[in-house]
Amino acid sequence: METNTVDSKNIYYPPGGILMWIIIFLELITFGIALVFMAVSAREEPETFHASKMLLNSTYGAINTIFLLTSGFFMAKTVQFFKEQKISKASFFLKLTMLGGILFLALKGYEYDDKIRDGLTLSFNTFFAYYWMLTLFHLIHVVVGLIILGTIQRSMAKDHKKLKLEDLEASAAFWHMCDLIWLLLFPMVYLIF
Amino acid sequence: MKNTFLTTWAFLVFFTLMTVFVVDIPFQYTAVPILGLAFLKCIGVAFYFMELKKANLFWKVSLVLFLLVFIAVVLMV
């Protein structure tokens, strides 16, 4: 197991790695631009956006926020335990992290099913076009994050000595990025308009 | 470290619950506290869970600037 610590204060070595942070910023900027466009559309069609927002269940959004935040907490604990070389604990918390992601997907799936049954699909109106595109794009990130965490879990269970701390930290950074994006999506999609 | 993560998580959940309650307050500018709380939650996740507080100042300032610009643009629109 490689747990060499790098100097995080060095501009080239942020926790998770510089490449991951470049990806994180690109993702945040992409989602940020899409959300600004959504706000512009909301200004043009305020009644449509308000009426459509009322068709969403903000409780689902809040519960999903708590799922992702709790999952993020478990991820942070996983990295901490791995650094302390408490591998069984790290593995257990990584599984809890993944459970948080799976619960998020399950609730999102239930919400999507609800919307499709009510005919609130992508083509229903401008608000729902944004709703589907933004939340589905985010959902894809969560699925990719779960796949990455699954491979990390496999490495940890198989031969944890081969798993590098940098790889775990980069995976954790990707998972937390899903939190960050959702923390911007939740108020914009479910609450503001 | 152990308590920091737990404290951060507790604050994040508290801010989320606060957001849900703020929405119901009949106030013309609810977007301001809602986005303000979103800003605090993003800072909590990035600085503590992602350990950005240990990173070079460049990364911290970049994230804070991005969030502030994003929120300002949304509020101005």
ipTM: 0.92
Q: How far apart are CA A114 and CA A189, in angstroms?
A: 16
Residue A29: its pLDDT value, please? 96
pLDDT at residue B6 above 90? yes
Taking an 8 Å cut-off on Cβ atoms, the answer to whether A65 and B16 are in contact is: yes
Taking an 8 Å cut-off on Cβ atoms, the answer to whether B5 and A179 are in contact is: no
CA angle A79, A83, A87 (to 5 degrees): 80
Residue B16: its pLDDT value, please? 94
Q: What is the mean pLDDT of chain B?
A: 91
User: Predicted confidence band at B1 (pLDDT cuts at 50, 70, 90)?
Assistant: low
Q: Does B8 touch chain A (CB under 8 A)?
A: yes
Q: Which of A15, A39, A66 sits opposite B52 (nearest CB)?
A: A15
Q: How far is CA A60 from CA A1, A65, A147, A155, A157, in A?
A: 40, 9, 24, 34, 34
Taking an 8 Å cut-off on Cβ atoms, the answer to whether A179 and B13 are in contact is: no
Tens of pLDDT, residues A164-193: 999 999 999 999 999 999 999 999 999 988
User: Predicted confidence band at A5 (pLDDT cuts at 50, 70, 90)?
Assistant: low
Tens of pLDDT, residues B47-56: 999 999 999 9
Q: Which residues pair with A2 in a beta bridge?
A: A164
Find the chain A residues whose C-beta atoms sit closer than 8 A to any C-beta of B: 8-11, 14-16, 21, 25, 28-29, 32, 35-36, 39-40, 43, 58-59, 62, 65-66, 69-70, 72-73, 75-77, 80, 172-173, 176, 179-180, 183-184, 186-188, 191-192
Looking at chain A, the whole-number percentage of residues with pLDDT higher than 90 is 80
Residue B50: its pLDDT value, please? 93
Q: Which of B31, B55, B63 sits opposite A192 (nearest CB)?
A: B31
> The whole model's pTM is what?
0.91
Taking an 8 Å cut-off on Cβ atoms, the answer to whether B19 and A10 are in contact is: no
Residues of A with Cβ-Cβ distance to B23 under 8 angstroms = 58, 191
pLDDT at residue A3 above 70? no
Taking an 8 Å cut-off on Cβ atoms, the answer to whether A39 and B46 are in contact is: no
Residues of B with Cβ-Cβ distance to A180 under 8 angstroms = 42, 45-46
Alpha helices in A45-125, H assignment, sequence order = 46-53, 58-83, 87-117
pLDDT at residue A11 above 90? no
Question: What is the mean predicted confidence (pLDDT) over B27-50?
Answer: 92
Tens of pLDDT, residues A112-129: 999 999 999 888 999 999
Q: What is the mean pLDDT of chain A?
A: 92
